[in-house]
A and B are shown apart, each in its own frame.
Chain A
């Protein structure tokens, strides 16, 4: 409820800010110094509604006198021409007209910047309307023009959009390259950007190529998430949850046999079939939206020229006005004997043709833990070798909780150790690999595993791409340095997704950044990607969802004194009858005392944490305080309701363990 109030306050204020600034400008307009800034206001107005306090502040800051000037005293007909020429999108409008509002709402929804000239607020409005009638035969408002092309009234504009013919008008070709935009990498970000740009009328190609793994694994269009990331991972996570469900089922009266076999082959087949249909779906979408898809490895010759090589070694040179690099990353191999020959990575695991058997995962990334989690639940003997901490970058208390739970579920952890050597003991599917490792505690030791999965990190695919030929500057990590508009040091080369320095390696982030970039490049939009308060979830058997700052980062940023942490263990109702432990699940809110207990961190370990965190993330985005969480009425009985009743602070040292209701 409080969150809602909060939002409507912003809305009201934004409207007030917009309209007061608007009328201010209309006075200016009376002197026939109109436009541009009107559109500025409309855009800001909308930003004011949808995003956080930041834009509210923007809205209240008055647009100043930068407004484009049409010369004073021009005859109305010439004035109309000036207006049309000066703005990409202009709507001759009246402030009270509902049809005009419909058209404005459409452009706002599309994220396209426009100028609205409110004729009722201009002294010479009638004369302008007459001149428009003479020019277009249309007497009424709205009357829309895009890049000088007359679109027409409300129905004309809406119908034209419906038919897919509105946005292409936005784009006028100003160069001699083959394409307006070439996207290198057909993954989450690249596909989103290419489809959006094509819908906005740009001529677009996507160049995608998958280098096989050392084992020879390869896949289709769609990038990491679809083929070897989120999608297969979450499906295998589901297989693990079903295993837990089967265990619980007996307590709920199901006569489930004590021993049930799992078929790895069936799981892999189901997962891969689904992926296959997604690969095809992407090809259909690209073809349908007139994006050319080229299945070829791509390198830069110069900032506008690319060289591609396809599977058969056929080369092609492609030129483009703008180039978007969305090549993502691939798993890192350590420089150790046997690593490439004998180990696999997440790139191979989800399509492995045989059950992995006794498995070692090397690494403590979310990928290592997620894979360990589902493999253990499927009944495999699983060990994770961790050099130092779990889930670097995440809240460490939560990371330990996740690992503790996994340990209780039978996953073995070797901490403080690194592998030094991999040797083949037996060939086969699976074979047997001897892994030698060292740790401070145990010195040198070794063990044998059927499968070794390396998950020690990912490297950007920028190494052999000739990015220096284009003048693109890379960070030490090999990732591309971009500004807040995803533009690299080469002005016509952009980058999004996993390949950018200081980004977030998440699919929805790549997609959002790609869409917004396309709208800025081809839709006249100005909205930039907001990398703050992006929610995420680690899909270990007990999920960990979070949004905002970790406890460590909050303390660094605000100081320990100013950070108040509310926390609570909870025992999900569904765990009770199944006799699952009471102490597995835990939630905490991190608040800033001096800012009215603004919630800056949200963390939960428990079932369905992904689903829970997604919803609450909007509260953080809207700047919710602890009081807003307290005012929220829970849904009973759920796990998520724990966030509405948190009273114990960490500072108090009081018991925060689970209690019944």
Chain B
């Protein structure tokens, strides 16, 4: 099983990547709408659907992978066209959920993140 981390906001995300940079492992990051503390669920319905699919793939992935779950914050913060997650040159997120293989052009967006065949492919090679 891949090692798992959970961060919130761009700064924490970048710090986490920095600290993992020497691990030599492949990092898969999941960007998801923040969780409502009351329900423990994301405000973004697509993220809610995708999460169990991603979790399953993470639990089946090899030790060579590290999984970082990153909350992009509340709905209003994310919907802002100038949200840092949208403007950051290394991310340029267009939607949540987005799954990326860090440092590669490989990414899955929205409904793709809920498709087990595609999510598994991200955890291959």
Name A's B-contacting residues (CB within 8 A). Answer: 273, 276-277, 279-280, 283-284, 287-288
Contact = CB atoms under 8 A, between A and B. Distances in A.
Contacts of B21: none
A287 B105 contact: no
A533 to B, nearest CB: 37
Contacts of A283: 121
A284 B105 contact: no
Interface in B68-125: 104-108, 112, 115, 117-118, 121
B107 A280 contact: yes
A273 B105 contact: yes
Nearest to A281: B105
- Interface centre among B104, B105, B107, by most A CB within 10 Å? B105
22 contacts: A273-B105, A276-B104, A276-B105, A277-B105, A277-B107, A279-B105, A280-B104, A280-B105, A280-B106, A280-B107, A283-B121, A284-B108, A284-B112, A284-B118, A284-B121, A287-B117, A287-B118, A287-B121, A288-B112, A288-B115, A288-B117, A288-B118
Contacts of A287: 117-118, 121
A287 B121 CA distance: 8
Nearest to A220: B105
Given A277-B105, A280-B107, 13 more contacts: A276-B104, A277-B107, A279-B105, A280-B105, A280-B106, A283-B121, A284-B108, A284-B118, A284-B121, A287-B117, A287-B121, A288-B115, A288-B118
Contacts of B104: 276, 280
A260 B1 CA distance: 52
Nearest to A290: B117
A284 to B, nearest CB: 6
Contacts of A276: 104-105
Contacts of B106: 280
Nearest to B115: A288
A282 to B, nearest CB: 12
Q: Which 4 A-B pairs have the closest CB atoms?
A: A276-B105, A277-B105, A280-B106, A287-B117
A276 B105 CA distance: 6
Contacts of A279: 105
Nearest to B101: A280
A280 B122 CA distance: 10
Contacts of B107: 277, 280
Nearest to B112: A284
Interface residues of B, number: 10
A277 B107 CA distance: 8
A288 B104 CA distance: 20
Contacts of B118: 284, 287-288
A276 B107 CA distance: 11
Nearest to B120: A287
A288 B108 CA distance: 12
B90 to A, nearest CB: 11
A350 to B, nearest CB: 16
Contacts of B105: 273, 276-277, 279-280
A226 to B, nearest CB: 13
A284 B106 CA distance: 9
Contacts of B115: 288
Nearest to A274: B105
Interface string B48-75: 0000000000000000000000000000
Contacts of A273: 105
Nearest to B108: A284
Nearest to B104: A276
B34 to A, nearest CB: 27
A432 B103 CA distance: 34
A279 B106 CA distance: 9
- Interface centre among A273, A277, A284, A288, by most B CB within 10 Å? A284
A345 to B, nearest CB: 25
Contacts of B121: 283-284, 287
A287 B118 CA distance: 7
B80 to A, nearest CB: 25
Interface in B18-72: none
A475 B124 CA distance: 41
A280 B108 CA distance: 10
A284 B120 CA distance: 11
Contacts of A284: 108, 112, 118, 121
Nearest to A273: B105
B106 to A, nearest CB: 5
Nearest to B121: A287
A283 B104 CA distance: 14
A288 B115 CA distance: 8
B58 to A, nearest CB: 18
A129 B125 CA distance: 57
A595 B118 CA distance: 56
Contacts of B112: 284, 288
- Interface centre among A276, A279, A287, by most B CB within 10 Å? A287
A280 B106 CA distance: 6
Nearest to A293: B121
A493 B84 CA distance: 53
A395 B87 CA distance: 48
Contacts of A280: 104-107
A287 B120 CA distance: 10
A291 to B, nearest CB: 11
A275 to B, nearest CB: 8
A284 B122 CA distance: 9
A284 B105 CA distance: 12
Nearest to A277: B105
A273 B90 CA distance: 12
Nearest to B117: A287
A565 B25 CA distance: 65
A87 to B, nearest CB: 35
B119 to A, nearest CB: 10
